[in-house]
């Protein structure tokens, strides 16, 4: 982000060619994972079956480390690295196409209406899902590559160092923008509103009208703290991780979706970069104190915690089939029982793993070793 050459790469998108497709993916994805944390509410929960064992179906080697979460749609898996974006076949991991001129790093792709939306260091792009060619691009400022696009209705939402942008999904034209410094999170959307938080200072969580950008409510923490993780919305509540507070520790907040009133604040944990997942009347999140936590959705009380071998910073939990999946800096992906937090299995990778995605009974996760892993017990069926 400090190098001027990275900016020039983003601005020179149209000067580069798309690699020709090598194979063709057929069929559909029965249980798609279409954007960061599964859906526009960022619940992190899928109705898909999920793997019971740590069998690797295939791996795909990229040209750089993977931090962002994959998207799995229409028989394809889309994943980005610091210097490239890839589309591979969901069943066998064969390359379909790649863009060597788009480095998404932390940003996870979103897929909708035949287009893939992704941010690099200074732009957001809409690409054709079929071959990766450019449909449109819109210039953003630094740190855009931290925020993952959220697509809902005919709008695409994304954050950058200057604030939040709403763009027309088909044309890329700006519909509105809201000034808020250092928005690293992915915007969550529900019930005609969007929700976003910032690193600051000042540090705020805001709810905006989805169509106009007008403020519905805004919360500033009175005990310090800052936000990096993306909010999740479920059951009339907004759940958000606090990176750090006055005691240099984190927590999870639950707020009323419609007025921003704080309903509960969890116990203190380590600083939290991980975005919460909401499922089975629980809120799941990882922390820099090495633990994955499960809190009661109703009152924030602790149900269980599980200690991994290192910090959990680049990974947000994925929940499906009564299991919680999360990656740690100890280079393992963990599968935990959602009821008790008991370890079901773990998979060793060659580097710290990012946020997993679950689709059609298979776990997809990228690692800093540059590999995209598909974990399950059988190949998908063609539809």
**Spans of all domains in the chain:** 4-375
Provide the whole-model pTM.
0.90
Cα Rg of the chain, angstroms: 19
Candidates 105, 126, 213, 216; CA nearest to 169 is 126
Say what the pLDDT of residue 225 is.
Answer: 63
Cα–Cα distance for residue pair 157/164, rounded to 1 Å: 7
Say what the pLDDT of residue 337 is.
Answer: 98
Cα–Cα distance for residue pair 320/309, rounded to 1 Å: 23
Fold annotation for 4-375: Methylamine Dehydrogenase; Chain H (2.130.10)
Which regions of the chain are under pLDDT 70? 1-27, 142-145, 222-225, 245-248, 378-383
**Structure tokens, 25:** 């993916």
Alpha helices in 67-196 (DSSP H): none
Say what the pLDDT of residue 226 is.
Answer: 73
Candidates 306, 344, 303, 301; CA nearest to 322 is 344
Beta bridge partners of 85: 80, 99
Say what the pLDDT of residue 143 is.
Answer: 61
* Residue 228 CA neighbour count, 13 Å, CB half: 18
């Amino acid at each position: 982000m400090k190098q001027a050459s990275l900016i020039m790469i983003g601005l020179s998108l149209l000067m580069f060619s798309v690699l020709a497709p090598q194979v063709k993916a057929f069929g559909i994805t029965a249980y798609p994972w279409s954007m960061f944390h599964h859906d526009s509410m960022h619940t992190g929960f899928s109705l898909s079956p999920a793997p019971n064992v740590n069998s690797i179906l295939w791996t795909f080697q990229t040209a750089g480390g993977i931090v962002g979460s994959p998207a799995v749609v229409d028989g394809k898996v889309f994943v980005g690295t610091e210097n490239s974006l890839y589309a591979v076949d969901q069943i066998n991991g064969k390359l379909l196409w790649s863009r060597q001129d788009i480095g998404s790093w932390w940003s996870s792709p979103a897929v909708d209406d035949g287009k893939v939306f992704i941010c690099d260091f200074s732009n957001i792009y809409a690409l054709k899902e079929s071959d990766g060619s450019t449909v449109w691009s819109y210039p953003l400022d630094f740190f855009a590559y931290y925020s993952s696009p959220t697509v809902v209705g005919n709008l695409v939402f994304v954050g950058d160092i200057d604030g939040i942008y709403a763009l027309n999904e088909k044309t890329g034209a700006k519909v509105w923008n809201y000034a808020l410094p250092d928005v690293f999170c992915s915007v969550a959307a529900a019930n005609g509103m969007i929700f976003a938080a910032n690193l600051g200072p000042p540090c705020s969580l805001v709810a905006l009208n989805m169509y106009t950008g007008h403020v519905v409510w805004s919360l500033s923490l009175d005990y310090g703290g800052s936000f990096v993780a993306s909010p999740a919305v479920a059951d009339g509540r907004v759940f958000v991780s606090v990176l750090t507070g006055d005691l240099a520790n984190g927590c999870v907040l639950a707020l009323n979706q419609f007025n921003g009133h704080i309903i509960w604040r969890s116990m203190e944990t380590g600083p939290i970069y991980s975005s919460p997942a909401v499922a089975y009347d629980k809120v799941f999140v990882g922390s820099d104190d090495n633990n994955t936590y499960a809190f009661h959705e109703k009152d924030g009380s602790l149900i269980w915690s599980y200690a991994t071998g290192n910090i959990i910073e680049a990974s947000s939990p994925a929940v499906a089939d009564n299991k919680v999946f999360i990656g740690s800096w100890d280079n393992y992906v963990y599968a935990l029982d959602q009821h008790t937090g008991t370890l079901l299995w773990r998979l060793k990778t060659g580097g710290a793993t990012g946020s997993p995605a679950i689709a059609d009974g298979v776990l997809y996760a990228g690692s800093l070793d540059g590999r995209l892993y598909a974990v399950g017990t059988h190949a998908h069926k063609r539809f």
